[in-house]
Structure 1
Amino acid sequence: MHVMQVVLSLRTGGLERVVVDLVNQAGTDFQFTVCCLETAGDWADQVPRVVTLHKRPGVDWSLFGKLRRLIRQENVHVIHTHNAPAHFYGAIAGKLAGAKVLHTEHGVNVGHEARYARLNRLAAPFTDLTVSVSRWRDDVPVVPNGIHVERFARPRPGAGQRVGSVGRLVREKNYPLLIRAVAGIAGAELVLVGDGPLRAELTEAASRENAQQPRVQFLGNHADIPELLAGFDVFVLSSTTEGLSIALLEAMAAGCPIVVTAVGGNTELIEHEVTGLVVPPDDESALRAAIRRLLDDRPLANRLGAAAQQRAREQYSVAAMTRRYKELWRQLAT
């Protein structure tokens, strides 16, 4: 069976990690093409076959024809789109080419909520099935993301003051809030892993908040995330919006004590005072208090980290995610 994964790009990110893992874990019963509508991205070399269509800015009407021809040439049985822009092009072109269409909704970028909703609405009549990685709408089934949980079992030194987060440097992550929160904790340092368009802006903000001593490290994209997570005394996700965060799942698998904001799939993964601490979004004082609490109370931090790790191992493996999608691809193709 030939499945075409349709994304904007295979840049570094959680959605893109899901696509790479699905392609590489599904097995020999499936053939895959990953169609990147914009650019190939940093992770294009991690999958066997990538086709890039170089989408023009705005609505690129020529893309429907290009994608339809590609689907027919490749004899694709199922189109699997990821998030609204890919859904819009992939679903319409897929139906015109006679393929079945599965769409996965991963989350919404800040400032694009109305546009994403409009694109999904336009694509819906051409879509056979829509699923989401976290609770989105009552009528949409959930297929949770999964990770390679076994890769994150590392010794944790602990007993430090290192606060960390992993993710793209974009508005959705609300890193200015995290920088301010950590700046108010004596002796704490902040490590941000990942890159993105806001790096210069965040570096400047960190300098303002920590004028006396630089306590924020920007590590950029990093290959060995398990090693870095093992060195975090507290992992924080300060987002204003989330789907089912791969970075958060990885922190859980690493046994990190965790603080998250109560948005999107965060509250599906983290139960307050059971697998981590949950605070309201965009609340600097609450975020600071939760981080300080875990840094000061090591027994609590260790207990929450161990519970989060156990939950990740039991419920959020790549194998479980891949098995569910394989079932859906087969159902649609028959």
Structure 2
Amino acid sequence: MNSLDELPEIPKIQNKWLMAKYFPKIRLLDELAQLRLRLIIKQNINPDMPDNTWYIMARGLFSLAVKSYEAKNLELAWRYIKSANRLEINDLTEEGLLEKAHQIFLERTSKLKGWRLELVESLLGEKKGNTIGFKYEAFRERAAEPDKKKAEPKLAKQSLLTIVLKAAEVLDEATNDQYYRLGLYHRNLRRILWGFGGLVIGFTIVYALLTTYAESVFVPVIGPWTNLVFVEFLGLLGAMFSLASRQYESSTSTPLLYLGNQGALQRLLIGPGAGLVIYLILQTNFFNPELINSVGNGCVDCKQVGDCPACQTLSFVEMFFAFLAGFSEKLITPMLEKYAKPGKSEVVS
């Protein structure tokens, strides 16, 4: 591509009501327009620019991004744009590289977690007491004040270029697959809602059978085995609410493996497990119906008489904490972000 005319035009969106800032296609088109403008400006400033390898590759990636957009593959288009943006780093001066490195270093805490954060800090940071500071701060200050003579050694630009490219790739990779993640969240949410509806219908039928064939609906409900079933149910219900309430979180540090169908099912099962643990703790000698009796409620033998106030109070406490225990699945995400290592598809090359 040696001619400016060979850069493809940006597709237009006809519907004016779609021109909202948050709309993914608009954001993508805006980024494509900015990239196209930068490529044209660089060629106008430097007529020899088309001979540079990185510039040829950037133009090719821009064309692929436009084709991916037209094919409605937004994820792939964003990957091409990010790759083209990283290639532009090759054209930066030493001062520009230092500023780019400093920008990535400042953005690391807001955009990165886990192994990605550790990798960027190892590339651009260094220990300064109890904090991590910018490794090239002295060179950056010298670049800002060239008239002042400093004793720092000369910075190797090629070495810094390699480091900045690697750090930029980590930063870009962390925000890949945003729309795919959102699609996974939506599908999981629909499955959770269908599952919740099935549970409600199932327990409605069970309740109707109990009221029809049992002398009192409270007799089977208050027993230890039926209590256990309700604890498991409420733990699962709590996990459903927990998962459904976080569908629009934008964390990109959790591996995609844990966001799919199998991962969502595994996280749902944490709720009943945590509810069971709470139930067993409340059944110990410390959390005993006799403890409730000591404050003036209940009968002499709560373990045998199922409809006494003490047993009903304890059952309510068990059900309440079992539901809250379902929200313990939220602890999984921070643990994954901190300790999970990248899979084969997530390793930055």
Q: Which TM-score applies when normalising by structure 1? A: 0.26
- More helix by percentage: 2
Q: Which TM-score applies when normalising by structure 2? A: 0.25
- More strand by percentage: 1
